[in-house]
Amino acid sequence: MNIALIAHDKKKPDLVQFSIAYKSILEKHVLFATGTTGLRIMEATGLPITRFKSGPLGGDQEIGSLIAKNKMDAVFFFRDPLSSQPHEPDVTALIRLCDVYSIPLATNMGTAEILIHGLERGDFTWRNIIHDQQKSDNS
């Protein structure tokens, strides 16, 4: 599964700790992240991560592009709901794309716990059907 990891500045430590705690699950997947978040997770865990630009510089939109192409299977986006974000329209667009394409999205630790355990159990095998349909549509 392709998984995106994103966090606002005040939530980066939480996502890093989450990634450390669930490294054994995350290492079985292909990981993508916005710039600084990805770097911090890589440094803390040693996990390989494809990094995009920082969120405010377009990283959210780069991940959104993969969602729009149905090439992202889950998104962990630890948002800071109490701080104003200069790129809030990009954040809103990313969340909207997850809804449009039925991509599982965790925006806080509680939902992330449920989502990561679902990944561990194999609850996301339905995403393989989506990928198979895309392949047959492109044939």
3-state secondary structure of 32: strand
pLDDT class for 54, splitting at 50, 70, 90?
A: confident
Residue 77 · residue 106 · CB < 8 Å: yes
Q: Assess whether pLDDT exceeds 90 at residue 109.
A: yes
Averaged pLDDT score across all residues of the chain: 91
Q: Which residue of the set 9, 14, 60, 137 is catalytic?
A: 60
Per-residue pLDDT reduced to its tens digit, 38-50: 999 999 999 999 9
Q: Which of 106, 103, 117 is nearest to 21 (CA)?
A: 117
Read off the amino acid at residue 46: G
Concerning whether 60 is annotated as a catalytic residue, the answer is yes
113: Cβ–Cβ under 8 A, 6 or more apart, which residues?
A: none
Read off the amino acid at residue 24: S
CATH node for 2-138: 3.40.50.1380
For 3-32, what is the mean pLDDT? Answer: 97
For 19-48, what is the mean pLDDT? Answer: 97
Q: Which residue has the higher pLDDT, 32 or 84?
A: 32
| C-beta neighbour count of 34 within 10 angstroms | 26
